[in-house]
Amino acid sequence: MDVLMLSRIQYAATTIFHFFFVPVSIGLAFLIAIMETMYVVKGKEEYKDMAKFWGKLFLINFAIGVVTGILQEFQFGMNWSDYSRFVGDVFGAPLAVEALLAFFLESTFIGLWIFGWDRLSKKVHMICIWLVAIGTVMSAFWILAANSFMQRPVGFTMNNGRAEMNDFLALITNGQLLLEFPHTILAAFLTGAFLIGGVSAYKLLKKQNVSFFKKSFTIAMIVGVVSSIGVALVGHQQAQYLVKTQPMKMAASEALWETSPDPAPWTVAAFIDTKNQKNTGEIQIPYMLSFLSYSKFSGDVKGMKELQAEYEQKYGPGDYIPPVRTTFWSFRFMVAAGSLMILFSMYGVYLAARKKLENRNKWFYRIMLFSISLPFIANTTGWIMTEIGRQPWTVFGLMTTADSVSPSVTSGQVLFSLIVFVGAYAILGGVMVYLFVRTIKKGPYEVKAVEESHDPFDKEGYRHAIS
C-alpha cells in the first residue's frame, strides 16, 4: 500500500479511537460537576460519593483521552506535512489556543481535583471540577474551529500558494462551527449520560446501592433527554447548512445520484451501486428530504452527477464524489442511534418522575445497559460521515487529501507506526475496559467500607451493611 492510504488508515484509526474517550471525558466531567455541586449545595455525603465513584471512571477514561490526544497534535506534521504547510497559518492558531486555554486548565485542575479532596475547601474543590469541565468544552471549541475550517474555509486569503489567516473573528464565528460545536458538545453530554445511565441500570438490576444509583440514573436521564433532543435539533440545522455549503456531502449521505424531484423524498435505505452510479432499490418517505434540507415540504436537492459536473467546471477534472455507501450508511446509523437515545432517555425520565425506578423495569434496565453502545455508535458514525463525506478534500475546495500527505515519509515508516499505534491502542482499550468493569463491579462503597470501618454502626459501615 502507498503512503497516502496507510496514512489515511492510521489517521482514521487513531482519531476514531481517540474520539471514544473525548466525549466520555466531556460528558462525565460535566455530570460529575453537577453531582459535586449538589453535594456542596445540599450537603449530602451521597452526592460526594457519587462524584468520587463516577470520578474513578472519569479518570480511567481521561488518561487515555490525554495520551491519545498528544498523538493527534503530532500527526498533522508527521503524516500530513504538506497539509500543515498549506493551512498552518490558519489551522495552527486554534490548536495553539486549545493547548494554552484548555489543556493547561484541565490538566492542572484535574490534578488539584484528584489530590485535593483533603487539602481544598469544599467550594474550591467543586470549582476545580467545573474548571476541568469548562476546559474540556473549550478544548472542543478550538479543535472544532480548526475542523470547521476544513469543512468550510473562512477568514483567510491565498498568498504564495498557502492559506493565510486574515480574519480571526470569522474563523471562530464560522457558521459551520456554530452548529458543529453545540452538536458535538451535546453529543458528549449524551455520551456521559448514557454511560452513567447504563451503569446505574446495571447496578439497579443487581439491586446494589439502590439509592445511590437511582439518584445517578435520574441525573443522567435528565441530562440525557435534554441533550439528545438538543443534538437532534442542531442536527437538523446542520443538514440545512450542509445543503448550502457542501451539497456533495449532502447528496452522498442521501445516495442521491440524480437531482431529486420537488418535493424531495427521503431515502430510508437503499441498495447502492456506485459503479453504475445508481440505486437498485430504495425505501423512501415522501417530502422528508425537502423538510430536512429546507424545513419546508418543497424544494429539490441536487444530485451527485450534477454536482460532479459543476465541480469539474470549477476545480478541473477529477472525481469529486466521496465514498457514497459509507457516507449514506453512517448517517443512518447516527440518526438511528440518536433517535433511540431520545426515546430511552424520555422513558427514563418518565420512570424517575413517577418514582417507578424500582418496580418491574428489568427489561428497560437491560436495554439501558446495552444502550451504552449507542452514543459511541452515533459519535463515530457522525464523524465518519463528516470526514468521509468531505473527500476527496481535506480543506473543502482548496486542498485534496492526496496533496496533503507528507512527501518525505516512506510507506515503511507509516506501516511501522500504524502497526505499533494500533497494537498499543488495542492493548490500552482492553486494559481500560477491564478497569472499567472492575471498578463498576466493586461499586462505590466496597473498598472504603473495608478499609475504614468494620463497625456496622459507623456511617460508612452502616452503608456497607445494607448495600
366/438 with CB nearer another protein = 438
Give strand ranges (E) for 228-350: 266-273, 278-285
CA distances from 114 to 44, 68, 368 (A): 20, 21, 29
Distance from C-alpha of 13 to C-alpha of 422, rounded to nearest angstrom: 7
333/436 with CB nearer another protein = 436
205/440 with CB nearer another protein = 440
Site for another protein in 284-313 (CB under 8 A): none
> Which one of the spans 32-40, 314-322, 371-379, 419-427 is the region binding another protein (CB under 8 A)?
419-427
Does residue number 21 form part of the binding site for another protein (CB under 8 A)? Answer: no
Does residue number 73 form part of the binding site for another protein (CB under 8 A)? Answer: yes
99/222 with CB nearer another protein = 99
Does residue number 458 form part of the binding site for another protein (CB under 8 A)? Answer: no
Q: Would you give the distance in Å from CA 103 to the centre of its chain?
A: 18
Distance from C-alpha of 276 to C-alpha of 102, rounded to nearest angstrom: 48
Distance from C-alpha of 113 to C-alpha of 120, rounded to nearest angstrom: 9
Does residue number 15 form part of the binding site for another protein (CB under 8 A)? Answer: no
Question: Which residue, chain included where needed, has cell 447504563?
Answer: 198
- Residue in 406, 444, 463, 464 binding another protein, rule: CB under 8 A: 406
Does residue number 408 form part of the binding site for another protein (CB under 8 A)? Answer: yes
347/436 with CB nearer another protein = 436
Distance from C-alpha of 34 to C-alpha of 31, rounded to nearest angstrom: 5
Quote the least distance from Cβ 352 to another protein, whole Å: 32
Residues 334 and 381: beta-carbon distance below 8 Å = yes
Quote the least distance from Cβ 409 to another protein, whole Å: 5
Q: CA neighbours within 13 Å on the CB side: how many for 166?
A: 8
Question: Which residue, chain included where needed, has cell 423524498?
Answer: 265
Query: How much of the chain is helix, strand and coil, in % rounded to 5?
Result: 75, 5, 20
Does residue number 121 form part of the binding site for another protein (CB under 8 A)? Answer: no
Quote the least distance from Cβ 434 to another protein, whole Å: 9
Q: CA neighbours within 13 Å on the CB side: how many for 290?
A: 14
210/398 with CB nearer another protein = 398
Which amino acid belongs to residue 211?
Answer: S
Task: Count interface residues toward another protein (CB under 8 A).
Answer: 71
Longest dimension (CA), the chain: 81
- Residue in 9, 40, 116, 429 binding another protein, rule: CB under 8 A: 116
Quote the least distance from Cβ 107 to another protein, whole Å: 4
Give kind and range of the element (H or E) at residue 162: strand 162-165
Does residue number 467 form part of the binding site for another protein (CB under 8 A)? Answer: no
- Residue in 16, 99, 178, 402 binding another protein, rule: CB under 8 A: 99
- Residue in 97, 195, 301, 399 binding another protein, rule: CB under 8 A: 97
Which amino acid belongs to residue 109?
Answer: F
Does residue number 453 form part of the binding site for another protein (CB under 8 A)? Answer: no
> Which one of the spans 99-107, 207-215, 381-389, 454-462 is the region binding another protein (CB under 8 A)?
99-107
Task: Note the residue count of the chain.
Answer: 467
User: x-or-dash pattern for another protein, window 137-176, by CB under 8 A?
Assistant: ----------------------x--x-xxx-x--------
199/225 with CB nearer another protein = 199
Quote the least distance from Cβ 380 to another protein, whole Å: 21
- Residue in 13, 40, 77, 230 binding another protein, rule: CB under 8 A: 77
- Residue in 1, 5, 41, 70 binding another protein, rule: CB under 8 A: 70
146/252 with CB nearer another protein = 146
DSSP codes, 362-431: HHHHHHHHHTTHHHHHHHHHHHHHHHHTTTTEEETTTEEHHHHS-SS--HHHHHHHHHHHHHHHHHHHHH
Q: CA nearest 268: which of 200, 180, 364, 333? A: 333
Give kind and range of the element (H or E) at residue 161: none
Site for another protein in 40-69 (CB under 8 A): 59-60, 62-64, 66-69
Quote the least distance from Cβ 45 to another protein, whole Å: 20
Q: CA nearest 378: which of 219, 203, 194? A: 194
- Residue in 15, 37, 81, 277 binding another protein, rule: CB under 8 A: 81
100/465 with CB nearer another protein = 100
Letter string b/e over residues 63-89, b meaning 16 or more CB atoms within 10 A of that residue's CB = bbbbebbebbeebbebbbbbbbebbbb
Site for another protein in 238-277 (CB under 8 A): none
- Residue in 9, 13, 16, 120 binding another protein, rule: CB under 8 A: 120
- Residue in 98, 180, 254, 387 binding another protein, rule: CB under 8 A: 98
